[in-house]
Amino acid sequence: MSLFVRNSLIALLTATAITGTVAYAVNYLNAARIAELGAIEDQLSIDTLSLDTQFSLLERAPCDSFASSTTLISSLADLGDRLSYAESQLGADNAQVIRLKQQYSLLEIRDYLITKQLAVACGTKPVTVLYFYSNAGDCSDCDRAGYALSYLRNTYPSLRVYSFDYNLNLGALETFIAINKIQDSLPAFVINGKQYYGFTSLEELEKQFPKGALSTSTPK
């Protein structure tokens, strides 16, 4: 066998091995992503059922159900982070990602409503943030705003942050946006009922919270 033929065969075998390895890695990653989306969907179903139970508890013993409500926000935050990762990997236009975002948005709205009911019934003063963003390329500051809110949420575990894709095709979310009179100037925030538009820095965002509001949320 000539040196040329031998080198050609080695090159062919090497290219075949590399191609096979890449194909295996792609298939493995796709399977992992599908499994992750399935896990998110399962957790959304569980948390939805949990909220349904909390609504029932609220009717009978509203203040007794407050503790379970405050623990759900950490689960919501974790789901939101996992869903954001899935969206970054599969794309904002992925049909399954969109469906999960719709389910997650409904869950957030329901948790927000029950939080407000508990506040009235039990005299609590939760610190809430409604955050509206866009992935359509028309919000240059949305990523930085999201990172800032993630920092605040991680620093103050009792801070309730609800993030919504302003352009998500979901009737309940469209009604929610209309009720809160949110303009399409993004990023947009509703901090304890007060609207705030645009993002410059974490320090400026913190100034939008009522005086002492963050200090009432125990930092980590």
Mean pLDDT in order along the chain per 10 residues (220 residues): 58 60 52 68 72 65 56 71 80 84 88 83 86 92 93 87 94 96 95 93 91 65
Nearest to 61 by CA among 121, 139, 126, 143: 121
How many Å apart are CA 101 and CA 34, to the nearest integer? 15
Nearest to 207 by CA among 193, 196, 218: 196
Q: Structure pTM?
A: 0.74
* Amino acid residing at 76: L
How many Å apart are CA 131 and CA 73, to the nearest integer? 15
CATH of domain 127-220: 3.40.30.10
Query: Which string of b and e fits 24-36 if b means at least 16 CB within 10 Å?
Result: eeeeeeeeebeeb
Q: DSSP character for 219?
A: P
Neighbours of 129 (CB within 10 A): 20
* DSSP-assigned states of every residue in 94-115: -HHHHHHHHHHHHHHHHHHHHH
The pLDDT of residue 53 is 72
Which residues are bridge partners to 191 per DSSP?
129, 194
Neighbours of 131 (CB within 10 A): 21
How many Å apart are CA 106 and CA 83, to the nearest integer? 14
Q: Which two tokens stand for residue 49?
A: 């059922």
Nearest to 101 by CA among 169, 47, 156: 169
Q: Where are the domains of the chain?
A: 1-121, 127-220
Nearest to 50 by CA among 70, 77, 68, 74: 68
The pLDDT of residue 24 is 47
| Rg, C-alpha atoms of the chain | 23
